[in-house]
């Protein structure tokens, strides 16, 4: 006897019988680790961010920046490492997403893109991998965070911690994967490999930060930052 679907349409007996024999099997994804590289383009942005803080302090006669460029870079490396370890499901991250540390707005966008990305059509799941050196301890990172907090009064936007969601951004993760493969050939291949790697690094930064305010002083970023911080 024929059956009807929820709309009342008749479903032929042959289709019903065939559907009962279909076994749904879980997709077996191949896990691929993607090396995360703090490329030259991002390092330039970090330097510009530091210079912007210094300029703002000079304009307000508030004195020199209370930390060095090296400290800021170490702090960002620690944030990246912590986010990657969390996204991978590791429990030994220096900072947990619930730790109340401040994250510069543009770095918050980068961190939210570092995570797991599934490509069902290819049967691949990308996982970020980052092995930074010269990282801060949890205590050092928390202390450094307190040094950044006062700059919110000078117009700099911050998120609190990193996103709880372990999912990353497809464009960032794929670009990181391609870049890491190109970088593996730069020491033994044509100079074009080095040029391609440099271009991809700039492309990643442009994709992430291009349509946004660089230093996070715009009111338009407030809602987005709250969403990222509360996920």
| Per-residue confidence (pLDDT) for residue 163, from 0 to 100 | 86
pLDDT along the chain (231 residues), means of 10: 49 51 58 82 82 89 89 94 94 89 89 91 90 89 95 90 90 79 60 58 54 42 45 42
Measure the CA–CA gap between 179 and 60, rounded to whole angstroms: 41
Question: Taking the domains of the chain in order of start, what are their residue ranges?
Answer: 29-230
| Per-residue confidence (pLDDT) for residue 228, from 0 to 100 | 46
Query: Is the pTM higher than 0.85?
Result: no
Tokens of 14: 């042959």
| Per-residue confidence (pLDDT) for residue 29, from 0 to 100 | 78
Give the residue among 210, 230, 194, 222 at the shortest CA–CA distance from 110: 210
69: helix, strand or coil: helix
């Amino acid at each position: 006897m024929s059956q009807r679907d929820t709309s009342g349409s008749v479903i032929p007996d042959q289709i019903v019988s065939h559907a009962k024999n279909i076994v749904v099997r879980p997709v077996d994804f191949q896990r691929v680790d993607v090396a995360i590289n703090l490329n030259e383009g991002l390092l330039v942005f970090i330097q510009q961010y530091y210079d912007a803080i210094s300029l703002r302090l000079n304009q307000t006669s508030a004195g020199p920046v209370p930390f060095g460029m090296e400290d800021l870079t170490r702090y960002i490396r620690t944030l990246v490492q912590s986010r990657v370890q969390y996204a991978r499901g590791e429990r030994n991250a220096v900072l947990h997403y619930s730790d109340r540390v401040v994250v510069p707005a543009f770095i918050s966008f980068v961190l939210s893109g570092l995570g797991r990305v599934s490509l069902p059509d290819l049967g691949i799941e990308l996982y970020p991998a980052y092995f930074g050196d010269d990282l801060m301890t949890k205590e050092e990172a928390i202390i450094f965070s307190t040094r950044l907090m006062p700059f919110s009064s000078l117009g700099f936007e911050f998120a609190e911690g990193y996103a709880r969601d372990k999912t990353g951004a497809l464009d960032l993760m794929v670009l990181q994967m391609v870049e890491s493969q190109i970088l593996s050939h730069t020491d033994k291949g044509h100079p074009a490999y080095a040029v391609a790697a440099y271009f991809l690094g700039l492309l990643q930064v442009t994709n992430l930060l291009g349509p946004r305010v660089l230093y996070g002083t715009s009111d338009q970023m407030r809602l987005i930052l709250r969403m990222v911080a509360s996920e």
